[in-house]
Amino acid sequence: MPLPSRESKKLSHSLKAKAVDLFCGAGGLTRGLLDAGIPVVAGYDTDNACRHAYEHNNTGAKFFTKSVSDLDGRTLANHYPKDHVRILVGCAPCQPFSRYTQGMNTKTDSKWSLLHEFARLVRELKPDIVSMENVPELERHSVFEDFLATLSDERFHFDEDEGKRIVYCPDYGIPQHRRRLVILASRLGPIELIPPTHNPDSYRCVKDVLRELPPLAAGEVFAEDPLHCSSRLSSLNLRRIRRSKPGGTWRDWPNELIADCHRAKSGKTYPSVYGRMEWDKPSPTITTQFFGFGNGRFGHPEQHRAISLREGAILQSFPQNYEFVKPGETSSFATIGRMIGNAVPVRLGEMVGLSILKHLREPLTVR
């Protein structure tokens, strides 16, 4: 299907581009695109708590508190100047598809349909380039096949090799054992993610990004950076973390420290809770609950505490000065943890942006 009024235009780096970020959250993907050199003009999300983080750290990008279900292509089209390449990106909420919801009837979750809404906006807006990021488990669901079918129907080029869709974040310099599903699609011609920038011998590890941060005690706040704060620990959990080894589990504890739920047969399948990170390896996947010692292997490698909010943000490759809350205002661990854990790692967003720029710098003809 030809694009209106652009049928024979030659594309190169001289043609300008703008991006809109759906499900933008605190701006991880937007920040990455900006770092790559792609202007982002707008971000849409229903979580108004993200507004300050999104707009303060991403100059030129305006935050709109609106569900994609209430958006239409005409509204999105207003964000793109004439003769600009239209880039539409987004990471629909992944909770319905995550392995952490295995066994649950997630189709009753209202978030289940949001990828269908993304596809609808692709049909209505008819952007030139689309990028969609999510958890790898999404591939097992029919909504993903429907999304790919929309891209095919709209005559987008995208890599159909399933193996190339899954990105291992350490391959791109992100110090975190995180796997993500990344789709890049273009009407202008073949497009693919740039090759990995790192290999196992050069992976960035926890020590590379966290070692120099000021030490904290559990429940302490670093005066010069309020985000460098750690959650309190009960006296029992303080005893537990003191007996925890980097990379170990609760099975390393003496019997009197083991929780009743782990003594039960069902608890034996969760060995990674109450664990410490290791200095010489990438961190575990940062979730929205990373600030809690009992929520995964989120204990600091040496200090007797869970990692701080700032440390979680750094592991998500946010700049160390990224501001999530207005100075002088307070916000809960849960709110900021949600912003950080739900974000697309900034560095991954940058890799997507660099891939798009590489694609646009090649002489292509709109079909």
198-234 confidence digits (pLDDT tens): 999 999 999 999 999 999 999 999 999 999 999 999 9
Please give the pLDDT value at position 109: 47
The mean pLDDT of 115-134, rounded to a whole number, is: 97
Mean pLDDT over all residues of the chain? 89
**94 included as an active-site residue:** yes
The mean pLDDT of 317-328, rounded to a whole number, is: 96
Distance CA(258)–CA(32), nearest Å, equals: 42
Share of the chain above pLDDT 70, in %: 86
Nearest-Å Rg of the Cα atoms of the chain is 21
In this prediction, residue 130 has a pLDDT band, given cuts at 50, 70 and 90, of very high
Nearest alpha-carbon partner for 222 in 335, 296, 320:
320
Q: Which of 130-134, 140-144, 303-307, 343-347 has the lowest mean pLDDT?
A: 140-144
| Chain segment 244-254, per-residue pLDDT in tens | 999 988 888 88
Q: Decide if pLDDT at 12 tops 50.
A: no
* 296: Cα within 13 Å, side-chain hemisphere: 14
Q: Please tell me which residue in 94, 169, 205, 229 is annotated as part of the active site.
A: 94
| Chain segment 249-271, per-residue pLDDT in tens | 888 888 888 877 766 655 455 66
Please give the pLDDT value at position 262: 67
Query: Which residue is it, tokens 């090759």?
Result: 195
Q: And the tokens for 272?
A: 């990674």
| Chain segment 156-195, per-residue pLDDT in tens | 999 988 888 999 999 999 999 999 999 999 999 999 999 9
97 neighbors 141 (Cβ within 8 angstroms): yes
In this prediction, residue 89 has a pLDDT band, given cuts at 50, 70 and 90, of very high
Distance CA(316)–CA(231), nearest Å, equals: 19
Please give the pLDDT value at position 164: 87
Distance CA(225)–CA(105), nearest Å, equals: 41
Domains of the chain: 10-201+344-365 (3.40.50.150), 206-342 (3.90.120.10)
Please give the pLDDT value at position 254: 83
Please give the pLDDT value at position 359: 96
Q: H helices of the chain, where?
A: 28-36, 51-57, 73-77, 114-125, 142-153, 162-165, 206-210, 235-242, 260-263, 309-315, 333-342, 346-360
